[in-house]
Structure 1
Amino acid sequence: MDDNKRPLYLPFAGPAILEAPLINKGSAFSEEERIFFNLEGLVPYAIETIEEQASRAYDQFRSFNNDLDKHIYLRNIQDTNETLFYRLVQNNISEMMPIIYTPTVGLACERFSKNYRRNRGLFISYPNKDRIDDILNNSTRQKVKIIVVTDGERILGLGDQGIGGMGIPIGKLSLYTSCGGISPAYTLPITLDVGTDNPQLLEDPMYMGWRHPRIGGEEYAEFIEAFMQAVHVRWPDTLIQFEDFAQKNAMPILERYKDRYCCFNDDIQGTAAVAVGSLLAACKAAGTELNQQRIAFLGAGSAGCGIAEAIVAQMVSEGISDEQARTQVCMVDRWGLLLDNMPNLLPFQQKLAQKCTNIQNWSNFSDNISLLDVVNNAKPTVLIGVSGVPGLFTEEIIRAMHSHCARPIIFPLSNPTSRVEATPKDILHWTSGQALVATGSPFEPVVVDGETYEIAQCNNSFIFPGIGLGVLASGARHVSDAMLMASSRALAECSPLAIDGSGPLLPKLEDIHAVSKHIAFAVGKVAVEQGLTLPMSDEILQQSIEGNFWSPEYRRYKRTSF
């Protein structure tokens, strides 16, 4: 029986119901419910449907003049009536996703302490490290199935935001529900408050976090270990998503825990999965294979290297050797092209550094081999930006790339929009509309020579909700590399441009539910094949996906005794 059709039995009444966002209906309580739950007089007389409520809320939303105010307004609805919030967002997903998440969430994180209104999620501070179990028990969510956790050190491209980084787990989990159908009752945002090295926050009298320089080393590692163990004891089957940890911590944490617990890092693995899915779609649209591409990266941090490793794995699955695949990938950072003779390369960079012997015939470059040098010598067919520095994809670089590649694939993925390496408008004009473009943040369609090009948003929201749904539906104990690769291929299968030869590279957000279910099935099927969950047929897996997919509809309430 559909859960939304079964009554929910509540042991409390009166104002307490109106103050519980998971069960509050506002003006939609029926006459019977108002009588039995002592709500008469606490809400206006008219009984409304959720669509009538959403219509009013949308009119109010449109009355605000800037995106931050719209974000604050939506967050207020979320903290008052979660069912209405998700109905409103799902009704207007394309318009509201940039408000509840990137790019607006970045500004919300910067102003988190100034705009703070009501608690949501958990703040676990280092001075309370011996009471993590108690803090988890204080959560208002008892059946937690997905946690998004950050330590706030590398929020988008904005750097250390301290506890202001909580805006990211809140926003990410909003998308798990809006896009992936995960019930909000099963989600929990967590911020690990380990101090901040942002002097503006330390000196801000309104900053609400622990006023202390960030801890590091053994203290930090022990704190993370205590947190992971405590979560596993409290909710042993929970999926943990790491979000916006600094480069120096992100990969070590992932490597330490990915085989112990059900967890993944969205910045590394989610970004890689959506990028590979987008690349597979672009290659199909261009009539080629991924293993035939030459790829240049601008940005060799954990996110960029995570994407590169996923691309190498996909190339190998298409039939070339690992060694050959790595010769086709060039990583460029602030010091130029990564080479195997460079000192101080991070462990995850070393395998992606080009051998000096591979470039001995290159010409016209200085000691530090620039991106332009790479474009002129390696002649890449794919250019991916994850640098967080705006404007680095210059006209000279793009035109040089187009001179040797008729349909270059160019992905400036840095967030937010103020950090993008080049705008789609510039890229398409410099390539006479021939480039296949995807960005990390939303951009308006571009008109070139009278033709309109829709810009695909290569956003993780196309991937992580489906991964989460697939893990929940299958009961997977871990998130494997094969499951992530399956999510990429499933996303590519949903590309309008690859399927029909027209339209955007990635699906429209209005189709996100179907996309998430398709990805969830692919992810769950691999989990079953790898023995990461109990055996189940395709039919049972599909039924589990549908059964776990929550819709924002009000349930009937019945009164029960305490």
Structure 2
Amino acid sequence: MSESTSKTGAKSVQIALTGYDLINSPRLNKGTAFSDQERDLFELHGLLPPHVGTLDEQVDRRLNALEQESTPFTKYSFLRDLQDTNETLFYALLVRNIEKMLPLVYTPTVGEGCQRFSEIWRRPRGVFLSHPNKERIAQILGHPRYDGVKCIVVSDGERILGLGDQGAGGMGIPIGKMALYTALGGLHPERCLPILLDVGTDNDDLLKSPIYIGWRHHRVRGQEYDDFVDAFVQNVKKRWPHVLLQWEDFAGSNAARFLERYHDQLCTFNDDIQGTAAVATATLISAINVTGVTLEQQKIVMVGFGSAGIGITNLLAQFMQDRGVSQQEARKRFYGVDRYGLVTEKTKDLRPEQRVYARAEQEVQSWRQTSGEISLLDVIRRVQPSVLIGVSGQGGVFTEQVVREMAKHSRRPVIFPLSNPTDRSEATPQDLMNWTEGRALVGTGTAFPPVKIGGREEHIAQTNNSYIFPGLALGIVASKARLVTDTMIKAAAQELVRHLPTQKDKQASLLPPISDARSLAALIGRAVGKQAIQDGQAQVDGEAALEREVQGNIWEPIYAPYERKQEASRKSA
């Protein structure tokens, strides 16, 4: 496939495929929108109904068919089939209806999509690298079909959202993320490659299932697992020296380890750690615009003190330091709570990244109950925080008692239950509003319907990483960054902050409408690219060159005219 410019100035694409081969190529298929001339050139007469339609008509028809589906999962399955049939139509449908489509192609519906991945898998998409194929990684990735890849999202399926180990079904996450790289970030689908590292699963239900499509083996762990991941990374570096590699939904300890190990070896980031941190930080600043209490004055309780919780905490602490607070003082504003309660110097299995936020035993000794632990409710009573953030994956952990206790001491409590899917959310927005008499400022990690307060409905901001990672990826690709720096992540958050509705209206939603996400991604991409230039990581010559790359990397889902390659056989497959 190659591009040329016709006599009329329109860009056309030269195609070698004909007949069934062309129609069965998701990236090239136009369905009924193939013109009469194209049907002549590519031997399509008889394979298509006679009507010659338009992309607009197809979008309307597919939207109507989608709305006939009765459940979110069947709609998810419908859209996956469409993506595997006609990518241009799929993305046109997404881009034009992003508010309707986002909850269907990603959270919360993608969770069920991963759980039921084996029953809806039909056509190849992305790459499955299974442990038994360790020696074939170079061969698999070396196929010419992957020559144009610029960005990869990889998962091993062990910690899918709040659902745990989904094995090979975890591929639904890289596929969903890559779809948003294109729909929101504008990156051409040919540049995006979802990858699943199949190292087995410890989910017995999957291992017993007769339809499970993954490697039927308990998870490989320890050095053998690390060696497999390293073999993957080294082959990626060799195959694509300048590719962007995003880690997604690895178990918390592995997520942090791999980011630390590889962040200075290739251009890489972890969206669960860094993307979540960026959007949570921007959303908290939006809430602060409403409350008027400065960031450095906040007392923040973080429930779920693994890689995601630490990532949010670190970025917020950095923003505090940017406002003149010392590192030590900034760290004192945070109270981490994990499965053993408040994180203290005596917490079991305390990790180095947690230790810097651990409370001194002398400070909290009197807080302990007879069990020896300090519960979330104990922390709320003692600390009287202004902000409560949850990334625990534990549905309902923000109980009525906890929330009402917090509301006693804060006029406008800021509460972000960020875990997803819906049943793993720490609380529902409606309950939070009921328990705080409508005073809470709420951001959620998954989509919820509007809440009812005093006879009116109020939209709840979805603190969704999709505000950040598509633009972050666009900026990295456009700047041809060698590495992803912490300041590039911060630049993404700062750009989102500049466009918060609460900058102008305290009654507005905490975040812009998700329908603005595509235009926001371009702005974030430019900000990230400029930061990459400042950090000495970019491989473009200045901001003018960066702008050309940004524009050149934004693909619009429209049908280009096709021309037949002269050397192509006229014999249809």
With the length of structure 1 as denominator, give the TM-score of the two structures.
0.97
SS in 1 for 2:499: coil
SS in 2 for 1:140: helix
Find the aligned partners of 2:353 and 2:502 in 1 and give their Cα distance. 33
User: What's the offset of the Cα at 1:365?
Assistant: 8.1
Find the aligned partners of 2:564 and 2:151 in 1 and give their Cα distance. 29
Find the aligned partners of 2:334 and 2:158 in 1 and give their Cα distance. 29
Counterpart in the other structure of 1:367 = 372
Change in CA separation of 1:135 and 1:459 when aligned onto 2, cut-off 3 Å: same
Give CA deviations for 1:212-237 in whole Å, capped at 9, x if unaligned: 11111111111111101111111111
1:259 matched to 2:259: no
Question: Does the CA-based 8 Å contact 1:121-1:190 persist in structure 2?
Answer: yes
Matches within 5 A, 1:13-28: 13-28=18-33
User: What's the offset of the Cα at 1:389?
Assistant: 1.1
Change in CA separation of 1:365 and 1:531 when aligned onto 2, cut-off 3 Å: farther
Q: Which runs of 5+ in 2 are unaligned?
A: 569-573
Find the aligned partners of 2:471 and 2:325 in 1 and give their Cα distance. 29
Matches within 5 A, 1:90-101: 90-101=95-106
Matches within 5 A, 1:449-460: 449-460=454-465
SS in 2 for 1:7: strand
Bigger Cα displacement from structure 2, 128-137 vs 441-450: 441-450
Name which of 210, 226, 233 aligns with 1:228. Answer: 233
1:463 matched to 2:462: no
Counterpart in the other structure of 1:395 = 400
Question: Does the CA-based 8 Å contact 1:280-1:489 persist in structure 2?
Answer: no
User: What's the offset of the Cα at 1:423?
Assistant: 0.8
Give CA deviations for 1:502-529 in whole Å, capped at 9, x if unaligned: 3210111111112111211111111000
Give CA deviations for 1:360-380 in whole Å, capped at 9, x if unaligned: 565878621111111111111
Give CA deviations for 1:284-326 in whole Å, capped at 9, x if unaligned: 2222321211100111121111111111111111111111111
Find the aligned partners of 1:235 and 1:133 in 2 and give their Cα distance. 11
Counterpart in the other structure of 1:486 = 491
Question: Does the CA-based 8 Å contact 2:345-2:355 persist in structure 1?
Answer: yes
Counterpart in the other structure of 2:196 = 191
1:548 matched to 2:553: yes
Counterpart in the other structure of 1:178 = 183
Find the aligned partners of 1:50 and 1:259 in 2 and give their Cα distance. 44
Letter in 2 for 1:509: I
User: What's the offset of the Cα at 1:472?
Assistant: 1.0
Bigger Cα displacement from structure 2, 460-469 vs 393-402: 393-402
Find the aligned partners of 1:494 and 1:361 in 2 and give their Cα distance. 44
Matches within 5 A, 1:55-70: 55-70=60-75
1:443 matched to 2:420: no
Counterpart in the other structure of 1:526 = 531
Matches within 5 A, 1:203-222: 203-222=208-227
With the length of structure 2 as denominator, give the TM-score of the two structures.
0.95
1:48 matched to 2:53: yes
Give CA deviations for 1:35-57 in whole Å, capped at 9, x if unaligned: 11111121111111101011111
1:271 matched to 2:276: yes
Find the aligned partners of 2:528 and 2:277 in 1 and give their Cα distance. 15
Counterpart in the other structure of 2:44 = 39
Counterpart in the other structure of 1:342 = 347
Name which of 514, 517, 532 aligns with 1:509. Answer: 514
SS in 2 for 1:468: helix
Question: Does the CA-based 8 Å contact 1:363-1:377 persist in structure 2?
Answer: no
Letter in 2 for 1:477: R
1:353 matched to 2:371: no
Name which of 402, 405, 422 aligns with 1:417. Answer: 422
1:79 matched to 2:88: no
Find the aligned partners of 2:370 and 2:332 in 1 and give their Cα distance. 19
Find the aligned partners of 1:397 and 1:5 in 2 and give their Cα distance. 61
Find the aligned partners of 2:84 and 2:263 in 1 and give their Cα distance. 32
1:165 matched to 2:170: yes
Change in CA separation of 1:472 and 1:2 when aligned onto 2, cut-off 3 Å: farther
User: What's the offset of the Cα at 1:2?
Assistant: 11
Change in CA separation of 1:139 and 1:80 when aligned onto 2, cut-off 3 Å: farther
Counterpart in the other structure of 1:407 = 412
SS in 1 for 2:152: strand
Letter in 1 for 2:520: V
Letter in 1 for 2:487: A
Letter in 2 for 1:329: F
Letter in 2 for 1:94: E
Find the aligned partners of 2:283 and 2:545 in 1 and give their Cα distance. 29
Question: Does the CA-based 8 Å contact 2:368-2:374 persist in structure 1?
Answer: no
Bigger Cα displacement from structure 2, 130-139 vs 457-466: 130-139
Compute the RMSD of aligned alpha carbons: 1.7
Find the aligned partners of 2:316 and 2:189 in 1 and give their Cα distance. 33
Give CA deviations for 1:521-550 in whole Å, capped at 9, x if unaligned: 111111000100136443443332222111
User: What's the offset of the Cα at 1:492?
Assistant: 1.6
SS in 1 for 2:416: strand
Give CA deviations for 1:250-282 in whole Å, capped at 9, x if unaligned: 111110001110011111111111111111221
Counterpart in the other structure of 2:291 = 286
Find the aligned partners of 1:139 and 1:392 in 2 and give their Cα distance. 49
SS in 2 for 1:43: coil
Find the aligned partners of 1:188 and 1:535 in 2 and give their Cα distance. 23
Question: Does the CA-based 8 Å contact 1:498-1:505 persist in structure 2?
Answer: no
Question: Does the CA-based 8 Å contact 1:337-1:370 persist in structure 2?
Answer: yes
Find the aligned partners of 2:507 and 2:43 in 1 and give their Cα distance. 56
SS in 2 for 1:189: strand
Find the aligned partners of 1:534 and 1:382 in 2 and give their Cα distance. 40
Name which of 308, 316, 319 aligns with 1:314. Answer: 319
Find the aligned partners of 2:430 and 2:171 in 1 and give their Cα distance. 33
1:432 matched to 2:432: no
SS in 2 for 1:452: strand
Letter in 1 for 2:291: A
Find the aligned partners of 1:483 and 1:144 in 2 and give their Cα distance. 22
Question: Does the CA-based 8 Å contact 1:121-1:139 persist in structure 2?
Answer: no
Question: Does the CA-based 8 Å contact 2:244-2:268 persist in structure 1?
Answer: yes
Letter in 2 for 1:208: I
SS in 2 for 1:552: coil
User: What's the offset of the Cα at 1:84?
Assistant: 0.1
Counterpart in the other structure of 1:118 = 123
Counterpart in the other structure of 2:382 = 377
Find the aligned partners of 1:63 and 1:450 in 2 and give their Cα distance. 31
User: What's the offset of the Cα at 1:32?
Assistant: 1.1
SS in 2 for 1:411: strand
Give CA deviations for 1:70-124 in whole Å, capped at 9, x if unaligned: 1111111100100000001112111111111111111111111122211111000
User: What's the offset of the Cα at 1:247?
Assistant: 1.6
Letter in 2 for 1:489: Q
